[in-house]
Chain A
Amino acid sequence: MKITLNVNATPHDLELDPRTSLLDALRDHLDLTGSKKGCDHGQCGACTVLVNGRRINSCLALAVMHEGDEITTIEGVGTPDHLSPLQKAFIRHDGYQCGYCTPGQIMSATGMLNEVAEGWPSNVTADLEGDTDLTREELSERMSGNLCRCSAYPGIVAAIFDAAEEDRPGADQKSIEEKRVAAE
């Protein structure tokens, strides 16, 4: 089947077997190997990408069903010279050991922070109609779809908090930067 996939703001014409998952299309046909295959069954989050700004598991998606959608992969959130705030924070906080789950963690955290900004509640939110505050408990719950076999969770959590602080409306960027320099 001939389809066009919009990945990282670039249209790609592809000829695909309808069975091709979005993950396999990205990795095997577009050579975007940042998205990883852990379980291929929606159980680990290594394959997380954004579709129209929302995080999904690309292993449980058919590429042909995503024609017309805006797909963002880890390759689209930053480059080695221009890392995204989350990517920088993962480096600063050692948010990985082997690094296999890292692209999925970063894509998931990117989507998750948007969800928090939109005021979505989670399973641990006490008041469904109240404000959404990214506490430690909230962070763990919202990121539970991403497993880390190396158990680098403390670094992952610290990195996401750090990047989230920078993201917060009215955040004092200067003092955040000063704190970082001091820490380094």
Chain B
Amino acid sequence: MRSFEYIRASKPEDAVRSGATIIAGGTNLLDLMKLEVMTPETLVDVTRLDMKSIDADDDGVRIGALVTNSDLAADPHIRRDYAVLSRALLAGASGQLRNKATTGGNLLQRTRCTYFTDTSQPCNKRDPGSGCAAIGGKNRILAILGASEKCIATHPSDMAVAMRALDARVEIRGHDGEIRLATLDDFYLLPGGNPEKETILGEGDLITSIHIPKPEPGKHIYRKVRDRSSYAFALVSVGGVLGIEGGKIAHASLAFGGLAPRPWRNAELEHALVGQTPDAALFDRAADILLADAKGQGDNDFKIPLARRTLKAALRELTGVSQ
């Protein structure tokens, strides 16, 4: 690990330091610093800032950026009203990691692309312009949607998938102290020609909290398919909330993990479900819409049928319709 200067922030202003990198739980950043994939010169420890509360009311919940993944998953409001979020958190990492990982850090964890973490390999995300070793290389875990010719990495977070389905917004404190809110759709950028830029965050921006509106009543699920049944990243995951009234789908919000450079959501798919009577043909149509633009890269071709089956299984579970 390269040496760095360590600074402990005691107020948000301290986090705004030119060239400094924020550290929260450290479970992703330290991992990458050991590999010298990330080499910050200054680390600002924000863990003593007052961003650890979960405030729920009738309209929604505000989750401090430093709330740990385990505290969030176990919170009674989250378990009752935002179950997909509890489920997604509990499906991720391990008990030890969830005790350390924070809400803000989880959103900003980096891809698990094995070339990204191997500094001997070309990688546009780590070293812009060097190329992408994953295209034509080992890409079993990488993206089938939203990728570009420069990068086919996936975003690995489970939590972010649930938050995307729940219309979460990220509260950001800018370097000037100004607060702004961004939907996750706006927050995460697609790789395009600049895969090194993953979010709208700029220098001196601090995530302070996440706001989630209270979802409409319905069933919540998070379905994660992975290589082993625990302590593994998603190959494909589906999370969401769906409500049925009078035998028809009244509302549906679904997000997908493991498929794309950011938690994926498809408005057209949800639109096609609403107002319909759930049945197998409808679920197939939904999968057609999701995967219309899907592109395999070789090793990861299997994700296309896997995503179809996972979505259909999720819809069967959400609607209770097994045919």
- Chain A residues with a Cβ under 8 A of chain B: 1, 17-19, 21, 40-42, 45, 48, 51, 54-57, 60-62, 64-65, 108, 111-112, 115, 118-123, 125, 128-129, 140-146
Contacts and interface: CB of A to CB of B under 8 A. Distances in A.
B86 A145 contact: no
Given A18-B3, A145-B97, 13 more contacts: A1-B6, A55-B99, A60-B27, A60-B30, A62-B45, A64-B45, A65-B23, A65-B45, A111-B96, A122-B90, A123-B87, A141-B230, A143-B95
A155 B90 CA distance: 26
18 contacts: A21-B30, A41-B34, A42-B94, A42-B96, A55-B99, A56-B99, A60-B30, A62-B23, A62-B43, A111-B95, A111-B99, A128-B79, A128-B87, A143-B95, A144-B230, A144-B231, A145-B231, A146-B94
Interface string B10-28: 0000000000000100110
Most chain A CB neighbours (cut-off 10 Å) among B23, B73, B230:
B230
Interface residues of B, number: 35
Contacts, number: 105
Given A42-B97, A144-B231, A145-B231, A18 B31 contact: no
B254 interface: no
Contacts of B302: none
Question: 10 closest Cβ contacts across the A-B interface?
Answer: A145-B94, A144-B230, A18-B6, A144-B231, A123-B90, A128-B79, A120-B74, A54-B99, A145-B96, A56-B100
Interface string B282-304: 00000000000000000000000
A61 B30 contact: yes
Given A120-B73, A121-B74, A144-B231, A48 B96 contact: yes
